[in-house]
């Protein structure tokens, strides 16, 4: 992590500089929260020509539409002049940036804020801390060094990021420092109850019924990796259409599956194209699922990872089964 270079890159911006903020495809709470929270901080510093975007369809998932700083978001537009500075949030590799890689490559400076151990080291200046619970921890570290005063709007964004990536402060990454950071954010007056309800506990009735169906077809395989069970299910675009639901509602599905007591590893295979699947993997500790994901072209963390799979559901799950034994952690 090169804090000095990152601070210099932002402080050295001329008043007319164009700054573009980007984050990974299918943005989650950490991607959007760290990007918009940091964007609000840059605005407070007087950065005028400031935009934020992400690859793929420009729709922000409904649970995140209320986020302060959402007015910074613009659809991806290649006609816009090359930015002086691109800042990239929560993306472990360029493959997570779709067509926006081009904007990153052509920018005067590319600053990367991330916390994935699998980060490939793309971009020019790296603030990558694999021990950080969320990219927002890195973002706040830089805002502090830039002298930005935390306010309730910035805090709401960073709190969304921190609480989504720590699973509401339940995962291993929830260190004393995470709670100290959360305390700083809450001290600005934001409402954790209201924020949690909006981002975790609100979904359309159609999604509730869809979850019932998809969870109902889950499979438990007791001995997938040396006695550590695997539970998995899948959802197709047809499932979504039948229940009139957008794809993002499936992001929460893994949480309804990973509670399975008999399984160490859980998996949700979500159709993203004709023969293309976005795969979510979670582990309770016996298996390093980032190894499975990386072996199959994706990435992530020890206990939460993902990749894009091609073929049929059965082919994709079979590849996971094959990789599991090699991803067992020493006991």
Whether 311 contacts 301, CB under 8 Å: no
Q: How far is the CB of 323 from ligand 5GP (least distance, A)?
A: 14
Using DSSP bridges, classify how beta strands 219-225 and 228-235 pair: parallel, antiparallel or unpaired. antiparallel
Q: Which stretch binds ligand 5GP (CB under 6 A): 55-63, 132-140, 184-192, 292-300?
A: 292-300
Q: Which stretch binds ligand 5GP (CB under 6 A): 45-53, 197-205, 256-264, 295-303?
A: 295-303
Which residues, numbered 215-244, are part of the site for ligand 5GP (CB under 6 A)?
Answer: none
37 contacts ligand 5GP (rule: CB under 6 A): no
Please identify which residue in 34, 53, 93, 266 interacts with ligand 5GP, judged by CB under 6 A. 93
63 contacts ligand 5GP (rule: CB under 6 A): no
Whether 55 contacts 101, CB under 8 Å: no
Please identify which residue in 20, 31, 162, 324 interacts with Mn ion, judged by CB under 5 A. 31
280 contacts ligand 5GP (rule: CB under 6 A): yes
Binding partner of residue 123 among ligand 5GP, Mn ion, none, CB under 5 to 8 Å per kind?
Answer: none
120 contacts ligand 5GP (rule: CB under 6 A): no
Whether 32 contacts 64, CB under 8 Å: yes
Minimal CB distance residue for Mn ion: 30
**Residue 15 burial (10 A CB sphere; 0-12, 13-18, 19+):** exposed
**Residue 7 burial (10 A CB sphere; 0-12, 13-18, 19+):** middle
309 contacts ligand 5GP (rule: CB under 6 A): no
For ligand 5GP, which is the closer residue by CB, 84 or 129? Answer: 129
Whether 305 contacts 290, CB under 8 Å: yes
Binding partner of residue 31 among Mn ion, ligand 5GP, none, CB under 5 to 8 Å per kind?
Answer: Mn ion
Q: How far is the CB of 241 from ligand 5GP (least distance, A)?
A: 21
Q: Which stretch binds ligand 5GP (CB under 6 A): 89-97, 132-140, 234-242, 316-324?
A: 89-97
298 contacts ligand 5GP (rule: CB under 6 A): yes
Please identify which residue in 165, 251, 288, 323 interacts with Mn ion, judged by CB under 5 A. 165
**Residue 133 burial (10 A CB sphere; 0-12, 13-18, 19+):** buried
| Binding residues for ligand 5GP (CB under 6 A) | 92-93, 96, 280, 298-301, 304-308
Binding site for Mn ion (CB under 5 A): 28, 30-31, 90, 135, 165
């Amino acid at each position: 992590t090169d804090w000095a270079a990152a601070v210099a890159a932002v402080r050295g911006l001329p008043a007319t500089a164009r700054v573009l903020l980007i984050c990974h495809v299918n943005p989650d709470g950490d991607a959007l929260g760290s990007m918009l929270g940091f964007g609000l901080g840059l605005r407070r510093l007087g950065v005028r020509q400031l935009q934020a975007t992400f690859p793929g369809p420009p729709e922000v998932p409904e649970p995140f539409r209320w986020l302060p700083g959402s007015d910074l978001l613009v659809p991806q537009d290649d006609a816009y002049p090359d930015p002086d500075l691109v800042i990239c949030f929560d993306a472990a590799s360029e493959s997570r940036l779709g067509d926006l890689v081009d904007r990153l490559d052509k920018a005067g400076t590319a600053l990367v804020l991330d916390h994935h151990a699998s980060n490939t080291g793309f971009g020019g200046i790296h603030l990558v801390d694999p021990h950080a619970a969320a990219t927002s921890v890195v973002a706040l570290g830089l805002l502090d060094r830039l002298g930005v005063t935390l306010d309730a709007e910035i805090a709401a964004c960073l709190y969304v990021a921190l609480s989504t990536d720590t699973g509401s402060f339940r995962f291993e990454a929830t260190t004393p420092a995470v709670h100290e950071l959360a305390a700083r954010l809450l001290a600005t007056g934001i409402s954790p109850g209201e924020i949690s309800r909006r981002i975790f506990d609100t979904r359309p009735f159609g999604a509730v019924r869809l979850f019932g169906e998809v969870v109902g077809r889950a499979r438990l395989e007791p001995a997938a990796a040396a006695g550590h069970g695997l539970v998995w299910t899948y959802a197709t675009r047809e499932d979504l259409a039948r229940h009139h639901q957008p794809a993002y509602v499936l992001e929460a599905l893994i949480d309804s599956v990973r509670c399975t007591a008999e399984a160490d590893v859980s998996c949700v295979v979500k159709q993203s194209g004709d023969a293309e699947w976005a795969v979510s993997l979670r582990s309770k500790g016996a298996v390093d699922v980032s190894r499975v994901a990386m072996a199959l072209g994706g990435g992530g963390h020890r206990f939460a990872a993902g990749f894009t799979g091609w073929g049929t559901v059965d082919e994709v799950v079979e590849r996971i089964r094959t990789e599991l034994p090699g991803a067992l952690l020493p006991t």
